[in-house]
Every structure is written in C-alpha cells, then in structure tokens.
Chain A
C-alpha cells in the first residue's frame, strides 16, 4: 500500500494519535460492513426462493435476545469509540508552556503571519522542527479555516474573535496549508505552505529576515505613539485603569458584571465596544480606535498589556 496515496504524511505530534483512531474506525467499519454484506449474500443464496433450506418461524425468545444483543453490542462499541475519541482530544487542547506564539491574520484570500520577533510572512509559515507553535488567529472579513492536513489540525478563523491552535512539527519539509471554509471567489487559491526546518536552519532563516522587534516591543511603541500612555499611566492626567498585573484578572464593570481581562475584552476596549459598560469606577471616556489600528496592531498591543502581568501572561 502506497502511503502517499491513502494516507497523508504524518508530520506532527498529533498526527499519529489521530491516525490511530482513524485506522481503528476503518477496521471496525470494515468488520461491520463485511459482516452485513456476508450475511446478506449468505441469506440471499441460502434462502433464495425455492431453495431446499428449511424455513420455519423464529422462536420469539430468540428474536428478543438477538435484538437486545446487537443493540447492546452496538451501544458498547460506540461508547468505547466515544471514550477513545474524547480522551484523545482532551490532551491535545492545551499547548505546552514553551509554545512559541505566532500571529495569523486571515483575509480574502491571503494568510498574513507574524513571528514573535516581528518577522512577517505572507502565505508562508516557517517553523523549527520539534518546537511547539501556538497560533493566535483572527480574520479581517469572512470566516476562514486554517487547515494543515499533514499535521491533522484545523480551526475556523472568525472575524472579530481570536482562536488558537497549536502543533509541534516532527518532520522537516514543506506542508500544504488550505483554507477549508468557503470564503468567496478565490477560496481555492487561499493556500499556503508550512515550512518545517531544522533548528539551526530556522535560526539562520530568521536572522536573514528584516524584523520589526518583538510583539511586546511593537506594542510598547504603539502604546506611546497612539497616545494610550497619555492616560493609562499611574498618576496620569485622566482617571484611567493602570495595566500592571491587570491581564488575566476578573474586574468589576459599571453594570455590576465581572469580566475577565483577556484578548477579546482588550480588543473590545480598543475598538470602543466597552463604552456602554466601562470598568466600575471609570467614566466611559475612552475614544474608539476603530479604523486607526489594524488587527495586527491590536495583537501587538494585547501582547504588551499581557507582558505587564508576568505570572498570568505566559500560556497556561
């Protein structure tokens, strides 16, 4: 069996786990299909009309027992697979602490990628082998989906929200990236490549690219240039929240609700969505920066705010 013909390459830590489950499902499906087909063929031959095989009624008891028997067998088989699939999925949820954060912005019909040190790429993502990468993704327009079949990963990317996905490549090479949520005219051209390199090669590659400082540095720069620092500094002229240690905490709002200070809420604040319900004790005077900052800049600002809360800022 030619593996390239029937199975995609197995190039991430998740891939073999998914394949194991997939092949087990293939096996049980094949077994059930063979059983059903064999029974149909055997009955069709043996009980074809006029054949000499004896007929007669089935004892009622037998009927019930058979019915209960295969129902129970099916239930247990399916429960087993549910357990396996569920158990397989849960550990995959959390990226390891050491995962590198990479930002992805999807738009019709392009992938914009930014590395932690500011290196940008379009429709390409270079990563080193053996190092987990955590992608923080958002869309500028419609729903897209980030799919790398050789890694067995996929996630929809929603406009106005952040989604995360992670992987750890285990094979050097170039792997295809697809958009798998229909996004308009050039949907089938919204593809890209994930280039997995050895660690030294990757370091060399990274050095050769023009960078723009890391996210936190970019965010700090924006924080000043956009004028955020004018209000959000302790002892500033306006009564505005101070960001030290703020990220990851639950804060009270004017309405009495509590909100978790996370990526999404910070985005809402920057875009002026929070004026209807500002943090308790602060007047709703912050202007909206909608149209002035793009998604990449919001990600950088968020990274800066997160960096001010060292203990919660790191990923789980």
Chain B
C-alpha cells in the first residue's frame, strides 16, 4: 500500500538543503546536542518523544482497564490494583499527554515558523520546560512503581489527604513540577507571539493555529498556578497534618473541588484550543478555501478561553453547591457552547465551494469535527442540571470527555502530525496506510466510547472495578472497540517510523499550502528562514476573494500524474 508514496519522484529537489543544512543535521555533539539543545524544533522532537512515551504508559493502563471490564466480576486485577491502574491512566493522560500534546510538540515546532521568527523568545526556558515535564513525569512513574496511587486523577480530599494509603504526595509533586513546565511554555509562547512576529504579520494575519496557541498559553498561565497551589495544600494536609480540607477539623473538602475545577475545567480548553488551530489549517488547505469567518473564529477562541474560567461549578451540581450557584454555572455552560458551535459551523462552511481532497490529514480533521460535535453536544446534557444529576459520576461523563479530548484533541494531533510530518522530518508518509489508520481510529473510537453514553444514562458509575450484570453487554462492546482503537493508535508508530527511513524526500511545500512554515525548506534550517520573511497578504490566501478556488494542480499531484498513476481527485487508483 506504500507504493503511492514510493513512486513519488523528487518533485522539488531539495536544493536549499545544501545551502543551510537542516536542523536535524548532526554537528558531532552526539546525544548532548539534543539534550542541551535550545532549538525550538529539536525541543519539539524531545517533547514528541516524551508524550509518545507517556501515551503508551497511559494507553497500557487504559487497555488493562478495558480488558478487566470485559467481565462484570474481577478477573486479573484486585480492587486496589484496578484503582491504581485507572489513577495512573488519568494522571498520565491528562498532565503528561493531553495538556502538553499539541502545544509542546506541533506548537513548539510551528509557532516561530508560522510567525516568521528564528526561535521562541526564551529558548533556554523552553528547554527547561521540557526538563520540568520530564522530572514531573518521573515522579509520577516513581510513585507508580513504588506501589501506585489510588485517588483517581482528581485527588479529592479527604480521601487523598487522610484516607489513602498510597503515594499520593509524590504523584502530586510530580504534577506540580510539570505544571511549572506548562506555565513556562505559556509565558514563552505569549511573549513570542507578542514580540517576534515578522514584518507584516499583523494580529489578524496570524494563522488560526497561532491564535489557538496564543489563547491556550493564556489559559496555561492563568489556570495552572491555581492547580499548583491547590495541590500544595493537599501535600501540606497530607505530610504536615494540616486541616485545610478536613471537614472534621473545620476545613472544607468542597473548597478543594472549587479550586481544582477552576484549573481543571480550563484544562479541557488547554487540550482543545490548539486542536481548533490545527483543524482550521488543515480544512482550509484541503478545501482550498479561506477559512469561513476568520474573525469569528478568533473571537470564538478568545471567548472560550475567557468564559472557560467561569464554568467550573458545573462539575459540582451534586456536591452540595447552592441552587443559585448551580443555575449560574449551568447558564454559563450553555453560553460557552455557543462559540464552540460557531467553530463547527464555520469549519463546515469552509468546505462550501471548495476544491476538496481527502488526504489523511483531512480525514483525521473531518473525524475531529464529527467527534468534537458529539462531545460538545453531550456537554449540553451535563449543563442541564436534572440530566447531570443522573449522569455525573457515571460513564456518560467518561464518554463525553473522551469524545472531546481523545476524539477531539488526539484526532487533531494526528491530523497535524500528518499534515506537518513532511515539514518536520523532510519525508512523505505512506498515504494509504495513513488513511486506513484514520478510518480505523474513527471507527474504533466510536465503537469504544459510544456505548459508554448509554451505560452512563443507565447509571453505571465510573471507577467501578466490578459492576452489575445488566451493564455487561455495553461493556463488552466498549472493550472490543478498545482493542480496535489500540490497534489503530499503534499503526502510525509503524508507518511513520517506516517513512523516516524509507519515505520519499519531501518538497518544501508538498500540500501547496499557505503559511510561512511552508516557505522554508523541509526540514527547516536551524534558524528557520534564510532571510527574514515579510508578510503582505491575509492568511489562507488560497484563492482570490472575488472568485472561488480553481482546481489547481499541486506539486504532489504533478508527482502523482507521473506514469503509472492516474490523477483521480486525490484518491488512490484501485
């Protein structure tokens, strides 16, 4: 299936490579050349390796959970074992995979390229962020290896502060340390966007990916410290016997929930805002159209970032919050759904009158739009207090946030990874395999998580090791889907790895896309641009505003049109 790529000719001989040398080129420094690098592109690679590693840790835990739930009774895990497995799944996936996923990998690589800068504003701080994330991760892994943590990723007191007999404090410290890495990344990105835009790159010429990274960075800077302090209070209670969250000594465990969700709800937007950016880039490129309602897209992202700070209470409708507070948070939660809906409509409208093709990034992106819409719509169920009372703490919530974070953010990550893979590595990936993986992921994902919506309304509680037999059918379906999904997630590892060695060299702009990152070589030279770029046009200038896009030939198509392959609208010939 890889012949499509294998027969690509060298469409554009990589002539610029000789001039500057790509950032990947070794200067004889060995491993330290990577571990001490301050080049944002290399740091992005370091991050990619790190989050991939954690993805497999968290993924292994997820697999164990789903295998255990094949049966309503305990099979190979004890109660405590199960509790530890879902806790490590949650902590690792939230803080060491989803939060850093797009910003630190694609974001780190692309932000300076997209705004025409040689690097981020504080390159050393950028490297320090990576080490903080690494050290935080090692703490969590250490806590896991020393016997695990059993609080769930939410660390609710008084269970976490008084009653749990597990390594809560070590894991919590790991999260705090990684949190400072996140803050440093946020500071770096915002400063970079403010101070290093190249001439002509005005705010409203920024690609939506940059807007996504900018808004997410603001959320990181303002939300993460609240989490850090909250977790400091947990450690203080646990190690020093302080009573801040102890209901029996005058403290208040619900206070923890307020502070925790003040971070953790915006954290969802940390995961999804950069995904919005990726999706906008990809849809525009493969529909050959300007993004519909660019300004509305920007304002929607800003609105989400801001209102995202005011909806945390919807996690606590059954936690003893006053009715008035419940109604206010319910209202605000309905309101924040509006900008999300605007984005979905705008992406759909971008397809209108386009010249659409369906390469793998586009397939992942269309998958994102579908799954994110399901995730977003089910958010409305959770905003409706009576329905929330029924489904909070059940598998409905699990399904909802997996649709948003995994169906949404992870699909977008794969879209972006394939889209910019030629730029990052200088190699083309095998298109057919990539498309197959995209279809399989979409199918496996729905197969896994859709049954959980039904389980949730039926009332199956989350974090249950054993469950009543009437939930068996849906759990078997979900676990079967998880096997498919696991296979789908493993595929890119192999075919992308394959392309690193055997893939065809990529031209500078294989998709014929707009954006400064495509104006430099693939892979880019160390300082990104040979000469400082100057911007004199709007983003997504795929066609003249007064007329629609022509069915123009792209570089990649001229390759496809080579003998042996027929152009058929981007689809592979049978």
Contact = CB atoms under 8 A, between A and B. Distances in A.
A81 interface: yes
Contact of A56 (B152, B164, B353, B569): B353
Nearest to A140: B248
A200 to B, nearest CB: 29
Contacts of B378: 29
A158 B248 CA distance: 10
A93 B373 contact: no
A50 B355 CA distance: 7
A149 B465 CA distance: 18
A49 B383 contact: no
A56 B377 contact: no
B348 A25 contact: no
Contact of B459 (A176, A181, A188): A176
Contacts of A183: 159
B335 interface: yes
Interface stretch (B317-325, B412-420, B422-430, B489-497): B317-325
Contacts of B353: 47, 53, 55-56, 58
B459 A158 contact: no
B327 interface: yes
Contact of A67 (B152, B293, B464): B293
Nearest to B567: A50
Contacts of B346: 67
B21 interface: no
Contacts of B292: 63
A65 B454 CA distance: 38
B156 A49 contact: no
Nearest to B158: A142
Contacts of A84: 384
B326 A74 contact: no
Contacts of A142: 156, 158-159, 162-163
B387 interface: yes
A161 interface: yes
A74 to B, nearest CB: 5
B338 to A, nearest CB: 5
B503 to A, nearest CB: 24
B377 A33 contact: yes
Interface in B418-470: 454, 457-459, 461-468, 470
Nearest to A162: B320
A26 B195 CA distance: 47
A7 B473 CA distance: 14
B352 A184 contact: no
A78 B338 CA distance: 8
Interface string B298-319: 0000000000000000000011
A263 to B, nearest CB: 13
A44 B386 contact: no
Given A143-B158, A147-B393, A78 B334 contact: yes
A187 B546 contact: no
Nearest to A26: B381
Interface string B238-262: 0000000001101001100000000
A120 interface: no
Contacts of A153: 389
A75 B465 CA distance: 40
Contacts of B383: 81-82, 85
Q: Which of A63, A78, A155 has the most CB of B within 10 A?
A: A78
Interface residues of B, number: 92
A159 B248 contact: yes
Contact of A8 (B352, B385, B459, B549): B459
Interface in B524-560: 544-549, 551
Contacts of B390: 18, 22, 149, 152, 154
Contacts of B106: none
B393 A25 contact: no
B461 A147 contact: yes
B83 A187 contact: yes
Interface string A69-110: 011001100110110111011101100000000000000100
B465 to A, nearest CB: 4
Interface string B346-371: 10110111111110000000100110
A303 interface: no
A251 interface: no
B460 to A, nearest CB: 8
B355 A49 contact: yes
Nearest to A18: B386
B394 A182 contact: no
A160 B164 CA distance: 18
Contacts of A93: 323
Contact of A7 (B293, B355, B385, B458): B458
Contacts of A25: 377, 380-381, 384, 387
A40 B363 CA distance: 12
B381 A36 contact: no
Interface centre among B253, B287, B366 (most CB of A within 10 A): B253
Given A21-B384, A67-B293, A71-B338, A180 B377 contact: no
A82 B331 contact: yes
Contacts of B465: 187-188
Interface in A36-56: 36-37, 39-40, 43-44, 47-50, 53-56
B498 interface: no
A49 B569 contact: yes
Contacts of B374: 29, 33
A185 interface: yes
B373 A43 contact: no
A48 B569 contact: yes
B151 interface: yes
> Ordered nearest first, which 10 A-B pairs have the shortest CB separation?
A149-B459, A55-B548, A160-B247, A180-B393, A85-B384, A43-B351, A188-B464, A29-B377, A78-B334, A159-B247
Given A25-B384, A180-B462, 14 more contacts: A25-B387, A36-B370, A67-B296, A70-B345, A74-B337, A74-B338, A78-B337, A88-B386, A89-B385, A152-B386, A155-B320, A178-B461, A184-B150, A186-B79
Interface of B: 79-80, 83, 150-152, 154, 156, 158-159, 162-164, 247-248, 250, 253-254, 287-288, 292-293, 296, 318-320, 323, 326-327, 330-331, 334-335, 337-338, 341-342, 344-346, 348-349, 351-358, 366, 369-370, 373-374, 377-378, 380-381, 383-387, 389-390, 392-394, 454, 457-459, 461-468, 470, 473, 544-549, 551, 569-570
5 contacts: A49-B570, A70-B341, A86-B327, A154-B389, A181-B393
